[in-house]
Amino acid sequence: MTGKQRFLKTLRFEQPDRPPHFESMFELEHEAFGLRFPPRDQWAGMGAAEKGRAIAQCMAVYERIVERYQWDALAVYWPWGDPAGVRAAKATFGADIAIGGMVGGGVLSIDGTTDWMEFAVTLAEAPERLQVLAEEKCRAAIRQVEAMVEAGADFVFMPNDVAFNAGPFISPADFAALVTPYWERQVRRVRELGAIAIIHTDGQIMPILDQLLAIGAHALMSLDPMAGVDIREVKRLTYGRLALMGNVQCSLLQDGPAAAIRESARYCLEHGSPGGGYIFSTSNTIFPGMPLENYEYMLSVFREFCAGRG
């Protein structure tokens, strides 16, 4: 079974030979391979030839990641949101793994808010202005979605952090007016184009889980255990309608100990993988500063679990 076949099978809520695995981002390329992605602050000023060389440099890193860590999919996170990166990944990996593109910033969110006082005042006194902003974000995201799928993306990864550890960044009622309908339109466009939509948010999502279901995505990531999100309960509520990705606790991958990493990974696998509908990953990303050996230990637990299934 290829990685792409495994990825698609679990999204159909069928049991693959093992749960698929990939991470939304892996930023330890120097620690793992002695390689570097091109400098991000130089991307905007690159000419066509220089950009082509930079994309080839990205693909060299991705090839190492996919080979060593046996990823079943790749969301092209650098160059971020660039269809050229998706086209290069499709040419590099063919149909062996699922290839996706990043389309973030499509809805009002925590990461898209810079002045919280202004946001709060506008929400209370002139919410129609936020509707205008939400519409602008939605239309821009749909244009990006169309470009990604035209470039060959099998899936679109849509990160928008809309919850803190204590709960959603706005009330569920405001969320229903200002976020859900706009995210749903973007996901609907992904589906119309024949691609897969994966939505991402950190934080405590349970008060808005029904709305995240209503968005109509194929999968939801990150199922944040640091915010008290329990994959066993979320799977009980969503199975057959929304696949899940993530839930291995990132703070444990940062700080350990190994026994806690094992416990978190096993919990995710034991409660997420039965019956399909689960992609194994951390609850966020493999971020700079995380000890590489902790991610690799998490994968050793994963391999042990998969071997035990046979």
Percentage of the chain exceeding pLDDT 90: 97
Q: Which of 13, 32, 31, 36 is nearest to 71 (CA)?
A: 32
Cα–Cα distance between 103 and 190 in angstroms, integer?
Answer: 11
Bridge partners, residue 26, by sequence? 286
Query: Where are the strands (E) in 43-153, listed by range?
Result: 73-76, 98-102
List all residues 6 or more positions away from 138 whose beta carbon is below 8 Å from its beta carbon.
106, 107, 182, 183, 185, 186
How remote is the C-alpha of 291 from its chain's centroid? Answer: 21
DSSP strand pairing (163-164 vs 167-168): antiparallel
What distance lies between CA 235 and its chain's CA centroid?
A: 17
CATH of the domain at 94: 3.20.20.210
Q: Which of 139, 59, 151, 63 is nearest to 102 (CA)?
A: 151
Compute the average pLDDT of residues 180-199. 98
> For residue 213, what are its two tokens?
């279901």
The packing angle between helices 127-150 and 83-93, to 10°, is: 30
Of 35-44, 110-119, 169-178, give the lowest mean pLDDT range.
35-44
Domain membership of residue 211 as a residue range: 3-309
Distance CA 15, CA 18 (A): 8
- Which residue(s) pair with 197 in the sheet? 156
Taking the whole predicted model, whether its pTM rises above 0.85 is answered as yes
Q: 217-228 pLDDT, tens per residue?
A: 999 999 999 999
Q: What domain count does the chain have?
A: 1
| Omega before residue 181 within 30° of 0, cis | no
Q: Report the C-alpha gap between 12 and 240 in whole angstroms.
A: 8
Question: Is the predicted pLDDT of residue 310 greater than 50, yes or no?
Answer: no
> Alpha-carbon distance 272 to 15, whole Å?
11
Residue of 220, 253, 256 whose CA lies nearest to 239 = 220
Task: Give the integer Cα–Cα distance in Å for 157 and 73.
Answer: 11
Cα-based torsion angle of the residue sequence 82, 66, 50, 87 in order, rounded to the nearest 10 degrees: -40
Percent of the chain with pLDDT over 70: 99
Q: Strand ranges (DSSP E) for the chain?
A: 73-76, 98-102, 155-159, 163-164, 167-168, 196-201, 219-222, 243-245, 278-279
55-103 pLDDT, tens per residue? Answer: 999 999 999 999 999 999 999 999 999 999 999 999 999 999 999 999 9
Query: Which backbone phi and psi does 176 adopt, to 5 degrees?
Result: -65, -30
Mean pLDDT, residues 263-292? 98
State residue 248 phi and psi, 5-degree precision. Answer: -75, 125
pLDDT greater than 90 at residue 308: no
Average pLDDT over residues 250-270: 97
Distance CA 107, CA 145 (A): 14
Per-residue pLDDT, 309: 65
